[in-house]
Structure formats: C-alpha cells, structure tokens
Amino acid sequence: MDTESLQIHLNSKSATMSNGLSDCYFYINTIEVPTDYQINISVVSGAIPYSFYCVNSFNNTLNYKVGSTISTISFTQGNYNINQWLSYLQSLNLPFTITLNKLINKFTFTSSSSFTLYKSSTCFELLGLSSQDYVSDASNIIVSNACINLQSIQVLYINSNFISKSVNVTSINKATTICTIPISTPPYSLITYSNTNNYKVNIFQNSFNLINIRICDQNNNIIDLNNCHWSLTLQIDVIKFTE
C-alpha cells in the first residue's frame, strides 16, 4: 500500500461556526481521492483546557423527600475537593445533616424524621450513592454505599462527523469517536494528548470539506469549556490499495 499524509491543525477560535466551544465546525478546501483509495484519520496531538466542572449541569440536582414533603435542589457548579464539597453541602441548610468518614470516603445522612433520596437525582455519584432510591433506616440514617466520586468527568471523547466504526458503548449506534483522551491533570490546568500508538480510523468516504469536532465526557455529554479554546492536530492518511 502507498500512503500520502497531510495534517490539519484546528483551533476552536478559528471555527467556521460552533454550538459552544465544544461543538465546532470547520470548513476546509475539499479533500477528495479516487475510489481505489481510502482516507484514514487520526488525532495526532491535542491541548484542551481543564476548564469544565466536576459539578455541572448534568449532575447537580438532588431530589428528596422528608416526611411528606418532596423537594429538589440544584447545586452550584464548580470544581470542589472533598473538604470544599462537604462544606458546601453543609451550608445549604438541608433538612438532614451530612457528615464525612474520611477513612472510607463516604457520607452519612441523618435527619430527625424519615427521609428518602430519589434515584431521579443526577448527583448520586458525587454523594457516593448508586442508582436506586434510598429510604432512611429506623434511626433516620442513610450511609453512602459507594465512595464519593468528584472525578465525574474521567475521559474526553473526541467525536466527529465521520463514521469511524470505532465502538463507543455509550452511543453504540453512532460510531463517530476518533479518539479518547484520559484526564490525568488537576482542574484549571492543560490536558495534553499525543497519539503514541499511531491509532487511526477509516472514515469510509472519499471526499469531505467539513470537520465537526465535539468534545464529550464518558457519557457523551458535550462538556462546557467555559469559553476557553482548544487545539487539535488531525492527520489524514490517503492509502491506495495495490494488487
């Protein structure tokens, strides 16, 4: 096989249009190859600011009942460490107290009357709860059954408008993920990526002039970069099949 390569350098600041900085469209000069060629694409490198929040619009609601009163509260978005998170929760004057066992990283919720925490809440991972309704015991107590997880965004999926055939189990019918970037830096730093294994995908088309990049979390929710810009370098490998 003969291969020719070119690189496309993208920066969200130069997007042709966007639906927020994590969903950008770039129009370029048409790249077209004959039918006996295929186009492979890869993310060679990237730099994305860690400007999104662990408590965000997808996981910041708590639905609960105390006595016969059902209520909903929305938490303030931001990046919290465990001490800040506990202090914030305790400042809300909820109808139950929250204490932290640092040894096992779990919360205890205590009220003066019976109460329920509903699985329709979106914040359970942040509270150390799995997806089920919780009813307080005879002492009006609920204890977390999982560790508190403030790393609510674990990886970044780089999704595109190209059909890649890569399998993403959170969107099994939309094979558009071209790269996964693990998050190993603290909030408000820079997440960098280098394609060390030279991974690439066939886009199953012979021409294009539009690139749509969507930066999502592991649940395929588009992340909110809070108006901070990112950069990616894509490599296009044009491969001719020969007998």
Residue 174, SS3?
A: coil
The reported pLDDT for the residue numbered 8 is 97
Which DSSP state fits 89? H
Q: Which of 53-67, 163-177, 196-210 has the lowest mean pLDDT?
A: 163-177
Task: Enumerate domains of the chain plus CATH numbers.
Answer: 2-52+153-240 (2.60.120.1100), 61-143 (no CATH)
What tokens appear for 171 in the block? 């969107």
Please state, rounded to an integer, the average pLDDT across all residues of the chain. Answer: 93
pLDDT in tens, 180-197: 999 999 999 999 999 999
The reported pLDDT for the residue numbered 166 is 67
Output the CA–CA distances (angstroms, integers) from residue 212 to 176, 177, 193, 221, 231, in the order listed.
Answer: 10, 11, 19, 16, 13
Residue 229 buriedness (CB in 10 A; 0-12 / 13-18 / 19+): middle
Query: What are the phi and psi torsion angles at 19 (to 5°)?
Result: -110, 70
The reported pLDDT for the residue numbered 155 is 96
What tokens appear for 143 in the block? 């204890």
Please say if the pLDDT value at position 135 is more than 60.
Answer: yes
pLDDT grade, residue 169 (50/70/90)?
low
pTM (predicted TM-score): 0.90
